[in-house]
């Protein structure tokens, strides 16, 4: 685990390496030592333990839970929408907001904003790319819309999407169709698909000589279905077709690196699985593709080949994106393999129990696929998902997310590293009551 001093020293060194003048602020961000110490102690406790063994060690995860300020009267199972951030991450952001407010032009613009270069470097290290290929955005929607709306497409050019793309991305494509005459073709995928090969073949069958781009999610938003990204990128390259990858549910959740996917474009949210504050995300664009991609908001021509042109959004708080550094440190303190093993354990605890409980229950997530994580949808014959969601919340203060979308009709359940076994057991028992007595 990175200590507070080491963390801040590394940030200053990184700024110097990037050619920045990182001036010491009057007051450094207020990291709560207790939160960082808790994770450090948990990491020491976990030394030498395999991810699988550690996933079931409740004392370890109870320590992780202490790093969050959680409302004990509710059970939060919607991290795929937006997750609470650890206490020290939020405290650092709030401190920087207050500090900025004292003299925004000096403190926000000249002292805090330059640290975005450190954020860029650390995100690039995590994703496995050059820092000059990472633009820091406010969420995955912004990142992916930069790519969708920034490609030079002509009337009649075709874009292939799937029926399980995120709805905001589908809306962006629909706008391109209305405004630019782009032909958008939706490939229908079953959830779960018969196989990776079936997904690839369905997309291959939609390709024509007019196809210019394929856009699809790394993990589907509602079911958490992993899609064969590397195979689809290879298919696209073989036909001279761009592939845009929506990584909103993937990054810091399941293994997500540029080289594993071989992608040229990737957009991610950081307020879901990285546990960064709301208003944080990134866009990866392969260096050779930056110049040809238009920014969402205009940038000067001199920035045409500069990844920073995608950050030209006007005045914005530096505090949010600078807090990404603390969230990355927290993520590293746990470790990606440990995190995924725990997420799969708490997911399986409720999902397998409910599937075994009744033939009315369907889980559309591939529980045995090692690429899948915590995003899961449960459907119950005879239970309306909106009524079930409202019943879970109003009677038991359990937060899920309902949907009727692309042939799905259920509630999405997404625990996180702060979720206890006791909480998922409570959810399981409440769902058993719903099965027996209705809502």
For residue 20, pLDDT beyond 90: no
Average pLDDT of span 258-264: 96
In a domain, 52, yes or no: no
Based on the domain organization, do 322 and 347 belong to the same domain? no
pLDDT in tens, 74-103: 999 999 999 999 999 999 999 999 999 999
pLDDT in tens, 36-89: 566 666 666 666 788 889 999 999 999 999 999 999 999 999 999 999 999 999
What CATH number did the domain enclosing 429 receive?
3.90.1150.10
Between CA 89 and CA 93 the distance in angstroms is 6
In a domain, 20, yes or no: no
CA dist list (Å): 241 to 203, 219, 221, 364: 12, 21, 24, 30
Average pLDDT of span 215-244: 98
Structural domain containing residue 320: 115-327
Q: What's the count of helices (H) and strands (E) in the chain, helices before strands? A: 16, 13
Q: What is the pLDDT of residue 44?
A: 67
Cβ-Cβ contacts under 8 Å for 123 (sequence gap 6 or more):
131, 134, 136, 282, 324, 328
Q: What is the DSSP string of 378-427?
A: EEETT--HHHHHHHHHHHH-EE-EEEEETTEEEEEEB--TT--HHHHHHH
Based on the domain organization, do 185 and 286 belong to the same domain? yes
Instruction: Please state whether beta strands 265-269 and 281-285 pair in parallel, antiparallel, or not at all (unpaired).
Output: antiparallel
Based on the domain organization, do 309 and 354 belong to the same domain? no
Based on the domain organization, do 380 and 297 belong to the same domain? no
Based on the domain organization, do 275 and 216 belong to the same domain? yes
Based on the domain organization, do 189 and 311 belong to the same domain? yes
Based on the domain organization, do 319 and 353 belong to the same domain? no
Based on the domain organization, do 320 and 343 belong to the same domain? no
Neighbours of 369 (CB within 10 A): 14
Could you say which of 305, 327, 349 is where a domain stops?
Answer: 327
What CATH number did the domain enclosing 186 receive?
3.40.640.10
Contact of 274 with 267, CB cutoff 8 Å: no
pLDDT in tens, 115-146: 999 999 999 999 999 999 999 999 999 999 99
CA dist list (Å): 280 to 213, 268, 327, 414: 26, 9, 11, 20
Could you say which of 264, 297, 327 is where a domain stops?
Answer: 327
Contact of 170 with 143, CB cutoff 8 Å: no
Based on the domain organization, do 182 and 293 belong to the same domain? yes
For residue 110, pLDDT beyond 60: yes
pLDDT in tens, 182-216: 999 999 999 999 999 999 999 999 999 999 999 99
Based on the domain organization, do 415 and 293 belong to the same domain? no
In a domain, 206, yes or no: yes
Q: What is the pLDDT of residue 16?
A: 38
Tally the domains of the chain: 2
**Cα–Cα nearest to 337, from 375, 377, 370, 376:** 370
For residue 287, pLDDT beyond 80: yes
In a domain, 3, yes or no: no
Could you say which of 262, 293, 327 is where a domain stops?
Answer: 327
Average pLDDT of span 404-413: 95
Contact of 392 with 400, CB cutoff 8 Å: yes
Q: What percent of the chain has pLDDT over 90?
A: 88
Asked if the bond preceding 252 is cis, omega within 30° of 0, the reply is: no
Based on the domain organization, do 255 and 372 belong to the same domain? no
Based on the domain organization, do 421 and 321 belong to the same domain? no
Residue matched to tokens 């990142």: 143
pLDDT in tens, 289-311: 999 999 999 999 999 999 999 99
Instruction: Please state whether beta strands 158-162 and 211-217 pair in parallel, antiparallel, or not at all (unpaired).
Output: parallel
The beta-strand segments (E) located in 232-373 are 242-246, 265-269, 281-285, 361-363
Average pLDDT of span 364-388: 95
11-15, 120-124, 218-222, 342-346, range with the lowest pLDDT: 11-15
For residue 241, pLDDT beyond 80: yes
Sign of CA dihedral 56, 62, 67, 68: positive
Q: What is the pLDDT of residue 402?
A: 97
Between CA 135 and CA 120 the distance in angstroms is 7
């Amino acid at each position: 685990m990175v200590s507070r001093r080491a963390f801040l020293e590394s940030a200053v060194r990184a700024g110097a390496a990037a050619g920045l003048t990182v001036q010491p602020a009057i007051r450094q961000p207020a990291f709560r030592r207790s939160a960082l110490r808790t994770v450090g102690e948990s990491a020491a406790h976990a030394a030498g333990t395999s991810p699988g063994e550690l996933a079931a060690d409740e004392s370890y995860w109870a320590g992780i839970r202490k790093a969050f300020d959680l409302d004990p009267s509710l059970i939060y199972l919607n991290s795929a929408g937006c997750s609470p951030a650890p206490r020290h991450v939020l405290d650092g952001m709030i401190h920087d907001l207050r500090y900025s407010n004292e003299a925004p032009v000096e403190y926000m613009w000249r002292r805090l904003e330059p640290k975005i270069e450190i954020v860029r470097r650390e995100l690039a290290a995590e994703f496995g790319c050059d820092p000059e290929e990472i633009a820091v955005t406010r969420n995955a929607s912004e990142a992916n819309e930069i790519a969708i709306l920034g490609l030079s497409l002509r009337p009649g050019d075709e874009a292939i999407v799937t029926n399980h793309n995120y709805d905001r991305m589908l809306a962006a494509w629909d706008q391109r169709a209305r405004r630019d005459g782009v032909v958008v073709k939706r490939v229908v995928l079953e959830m779960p698909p018969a196989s990776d090969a079936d997904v690839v073949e369905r997309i291959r069958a939609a390709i024509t000589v007019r196809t210019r781009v394929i856009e699809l999610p790394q993990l589907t938003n509602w079911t958490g279905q992993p899609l064969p990204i590397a195979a689809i990128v290879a298919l696209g390259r073989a036909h001279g077709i761009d592939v845009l990858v929506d990584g909103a549910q993937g990054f810091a959740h399941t293994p997500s690196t540029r080289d594993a996917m071989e992608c040229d474009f990737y957009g991610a949210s950081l307020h879901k699985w990285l546990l960064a504050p709301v208003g944080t995300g990134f866009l990866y664009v392969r260096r050779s593709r930056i110049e040809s991609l238009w920014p969402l908001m205009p940038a000067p021509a001199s920035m045409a080949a500069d990844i920073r042109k995608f950050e030209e959004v006007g005045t914005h708080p530096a505090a949010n994106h600078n807090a990404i550094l603390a969230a990355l440190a927290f993520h590293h303190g746990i470790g990606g393999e440990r995190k995924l093993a725990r997420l799969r354990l708490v997911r399986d605890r409720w999902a397998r129990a409910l599937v075994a409980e009744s033939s009315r229950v369907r889980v559309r997530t591939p529980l045995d696929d090692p690429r899948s994580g915590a995003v899961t949808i449960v459907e119950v014959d005879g239970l309306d998902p909106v009524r079930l969601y409202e019943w879970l919340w109003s009677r038991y203060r359990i937060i899920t997310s309902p949907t009727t979308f692309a042939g799905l009709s259920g509630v999405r359940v997404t625990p996180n590293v702060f979720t206890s076994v006791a909480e998922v057991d409570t959810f399981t028992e409440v769902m058993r009551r719903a099965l027996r007595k209705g809502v």
